[in-house]
Amino acid sequence: MEDKSILNDAAISYQSLGNKNISALIATVRRGISFSSFTSIVRKSPFNITEWSSFLHLSERTMQRYKKEEKTFDPIHSEKILEITLLYRKGVEVFGDSGKFDAWLDANNIALGNVKPKELLDSTFGIHLLKDELGRIEYGVLA
């Protein structure tokens, strides 16, 4: 399935997304991410299923039903899964280590309104705010 190759391609990041990869991501979003592919993402992320449920605005019961019925996520949920996955990869790249990035995600951040960065993953605006903040950290602009 194409979504697995796109999702598991470690080379995919915000910086490396060329037209071909963006087209593949759009196709994956439109087709939807299978629950089995999502399970692979969950295993590689620091977020548990409860947190993913919150990020996607889906109840845990709905998530359990998706798993049981081997459902595919709607495009809107698939897109958010991809956005969070790409953001996570960028964060690990910027911090140089998943442990350091995980700690940053879980610590209150004054620059972000004294909230934990991972609390912003439930909205596209929050994801973009974190992406911008990672860019500032990457280039040493901390004000």
- pLDDT reported for residue 143: 54
- pLDDT reported for residue 22: 85
- pLDDT reported for residue 14: 46
- pLDDT reported for residue 132: 95
- pLDDT reported for residue 7: 54
The alpha carbons of the chain give a radius of gyration, in whole angstroms, of: 15
* Ranges under pLDDT 50 in the chain: 1-6, 10-16
Tell me if 83 sits within 8 A of 73, measured CB to CB: no
- pLDDT reported for residue 141: 81
The C-alpha angle 114, 78, 138, rounded to 5 degrees, equals 40
Tell me if 65 sits within 8 A of 71, measured CB to CB: yes
